């Protein structure tokens, strides 16, 4: 395995030279040899613009070929990548730019009804010295001839495995985001481990809907394709008709995503009009993955391999199911340790603890938060609660912060959500604790009905009563057309609590 991203790019150009590397209907197509050449052109443009090795390059843009080229070019220039969440407001993005001391910003043009650069300028914050908008990408590349190709190749070759590869900021759903730092060897180690278990090869076409700014989209997406020769097919935002079109046209074989992605795909009427038979591998993960969803993915989408996995920004890939695991294992666990990770359960609170070569180096400029997250023994405290079976397979019970106490009993919402997922009429659900004068807190279930089903709150409560202890049964149910999600597909429970 090559231990730096520029070295991995060189190897891919040698091993998969004329094979398709990147396919974007709006921006073009590149072979692996062309991808390496284009990344070096981007690196030369960065160098000509004053970007030095060790500088931070931020990207605030959706999944496109330009994101891939900018990221690989930054790595070849010896810079550190700082992906910025496309859901962030300008104020949040400005905070990331300031704290990371970004020297360059690659930013989209108008996207999802917002002009991000204009919004940033409106905040009054000082922008990085180099700002490139994607509509001006060609103008940026015209700077490249100012730096000889040999100089760019020398800088790329000078990147070391322990150099800082990226700073990925956490979702910030419970407080100010923190920048998790990883080295090149770690980014590629995670990518290789995930790709190896998934069986990714140069024959695969990988539809990457997971945001590139997220650890999964960047490392188990772009970098996983780079180390295996699979083709990257980016999709800027999840849109079911567009996804169906891409799967059919590009003969997509690999489609990871959150459970909500597959629910949306399976239940959308446009699915029937497209040939999705090329799909062979689906990877998902969450505290709650309905067993019925696994069955539907196999039978209705025809995916031969369905895997679940568990990870987080600070470690990316922690556990993963293996091909050949039965449906029950896939639906009820997140697999066993992967990527050289050790997994154990804390004695006092059942917290999932991780230790291994790909645990983050630490949080950017925050030694206190780093010490709180990683103890003296090197164990990362995830904030998730779970249990291990006798095979070493992990079941996520819940988040520590999501647990609530009802009448003196601990209630883990994920357990209730798992039961609700068994209702045929339920597409998605989230359970939170809300104040109660007598019991302290009680459960409230937010439920999204499946299209074509008539669902009433009383039905939900009745269903739970027959399957759960009384203190676990939600006391109220609110039906919704949709739940709030972050860009990675996680339900934003703090918004539901605020609305309660």
The tokens of 386 are what?
Answer: 């779970």
Q: Residue 141's beta-bridge partner residues?
A: none
The tokens of 105 are what?
Answer: 């910003």
Q: How far apart are CA 283 and CA 255, in angstroms?
A: 7
Strands 476-479 and 440-449: parallel
Domain with CATH 3.30.300.30 in the chain: 405-499
Strands 426-436 and 440-449: antiparallel
pLDDT tens for 357-390 read 999 999 999 999 999 999 999 999 998 889 999 9
Q: How far apart are CA 187 and CA 165, in angstroms?
A: 7
For the purposes of burial, counting CB atoms within 10 Å of the CB of 161, is it exposed (0-12), middle (13-18) or buried (19 or more)? middle
- Per DSSP, 219 falls in state I
| Confidence check: pLDDT of 500 > 90 | no
- Residue 464 pLDDT grade (very low, low, confident, very high; cuts 50, 70, 90): very high
Q: pLDDT above 90 covers what percent of the chain?
A: 74
Q: What is the mean pLDDT of the chain?
A: 92
DSSP character string of 25-87: TTTEEEEHHHHHHHHHHHHHHHHHTTPPTT-EEEEE--SSHHHHHHHHHHHHTTPEEEE--TT
**Mean per-residue pLDDT for 240-251?**
95
Domain with CATH 3.40.50.980 in the chain: 26-169
* CATH 3.40.50.980 assigned to 26-169: yes
- Which of 487, 492, 364, 447 is CA-nearest to residue 88? 487
**Mean per-residue pLDDT for 13-36?**
97
- Per DSSP, 299 falls in state I
The tokens of 472 are what?
Answer: 């676990």
* Class of CATH domain 405-499: alpha beta
Least confident of 34-43, 297-306, 430-439, 474-483: 430-439
Tell me which residue has tokens 């917290």.
Answer: 351
The tokens of 225 are what?
Answer: 């394709």
- Residue 175 pLDDT grade (very low, low, confident, very high; cuts 50, 70, 90): low
- Which of 75, 71, 68 is CA-nearest to residue 21? 68
Q: Residue 106's beta-bridge partner residues?
A: 59, 132
* Class of CATH domain 238-398: alpha beta
Q: Residue 59's beta-bridge partner residues?
A: 83, 106
Tell me which residue has tokens 């990371």.
Answer: 100
Domain with CATH 3.40.50.12780 in the chain: 238-398
DSSP character string of 416-464: HHHHHTTSTTEEEEEEEEEEETTTEEEEEEEEEEPTT----HHHHHHHH
pLDDT tens for 210-235 read 999 999 999 999 999 999 999 999 99
């Amino acid at each position: 395995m090559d231990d730096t991203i520029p070295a991995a790019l060189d190897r891919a150009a040698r091993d998969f030279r004329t094979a398709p590397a990147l396919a974007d209907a709006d921006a073009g197509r590149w072979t692996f040899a062309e991808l390496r050449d284009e990344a070096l052109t981007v690196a030369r443009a960065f160098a000509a613009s004053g970007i030095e090795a060790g500088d931070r390059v931020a990207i605030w843009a959706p999944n496109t070929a330009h994101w891939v080229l900018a990221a690989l070019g930054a790595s070849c220039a010896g810079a550190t990548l700082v992906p910025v969440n496309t859901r962030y407001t300008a104020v949040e993005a400005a905070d990331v730019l300031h704290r990371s001391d970004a020297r360059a910003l690659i930013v989209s043009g108008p996207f999802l009804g917002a002009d991000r650069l204009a919004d940033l300028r409106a905040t009054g914050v000082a922008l990085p010295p180099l700002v490139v908008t994607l509509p001006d990408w060609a103008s940026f590349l015209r700077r490249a001839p100012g730096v000889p190709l040999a100089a760019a190749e020398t800088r790329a070759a000078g990147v070391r495995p322990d150099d800082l590869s990226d700073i990925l900021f956490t979702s910030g759903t419970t407080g100010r985001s923190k920048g998790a730092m990883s080295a090149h060897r770690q980014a590629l180690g995670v990518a290789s481990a995930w790709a190896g278990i998934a069986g990714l090869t140069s024959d695969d076409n990988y539809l990457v809907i997971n945001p590139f700014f997220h650890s999964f989209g960047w490392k188990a997406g772009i970098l996983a394709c780079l180390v295996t020769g699979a083709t990257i097919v980016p999709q800027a935002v999840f849109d079911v008709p567009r996804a169906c079109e891409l799967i059919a046209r590009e003969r997509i074989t690999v489609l990871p995503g959150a459970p909500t992605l597959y629910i949306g795909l399976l239940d959308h009427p446009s699915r029937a009009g497209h040939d999705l038979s090329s799909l062979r591998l689906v990877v998902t993960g969450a505290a709650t993955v309905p067993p019925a969803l696994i069955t539907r993915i196999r039978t209705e989408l025809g995916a031969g391999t369905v895997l679940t996995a568990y990870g987080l920004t600070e470690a990316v890939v922690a556990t993963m199911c293996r091909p050949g695991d039965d449906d029950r294992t896939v639906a009820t666990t997140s697999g066993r340790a992967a990527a050289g990770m050790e997994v154990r359960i804390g004695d006092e609170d059942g917290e999932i603890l991780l230790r291994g070569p790909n645990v983050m180096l630490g949080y950017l400029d925050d030694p206190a938060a780093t010490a709180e997250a990683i103890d003296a023994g090197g164990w990362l405290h995830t904030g998730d609660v779970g249990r291990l079976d006798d095979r070493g397979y992990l079941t996520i019970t819940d988040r520590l912060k999501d647990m609530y106490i009802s009448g003196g009993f601990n209630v883990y919402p994920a357990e209730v959500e798992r039961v609700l997922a068994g209702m045929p009429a339920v597409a998605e659900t989230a359970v939170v604790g809300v104040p109660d004068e007598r019991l302290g807190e009680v459960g409230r279930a937010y439920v999204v009905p499946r299209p074509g089903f008539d669902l009433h709150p009383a039905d939900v409560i009745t269903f739970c009563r027959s399957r759960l202890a009384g203190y676990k049964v939600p006391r109220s149910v609110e039906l919704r057309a949709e739940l709030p999600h972050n860009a990675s597909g996680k339900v934003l429970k703090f918004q539901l609590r605020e609305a309660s």
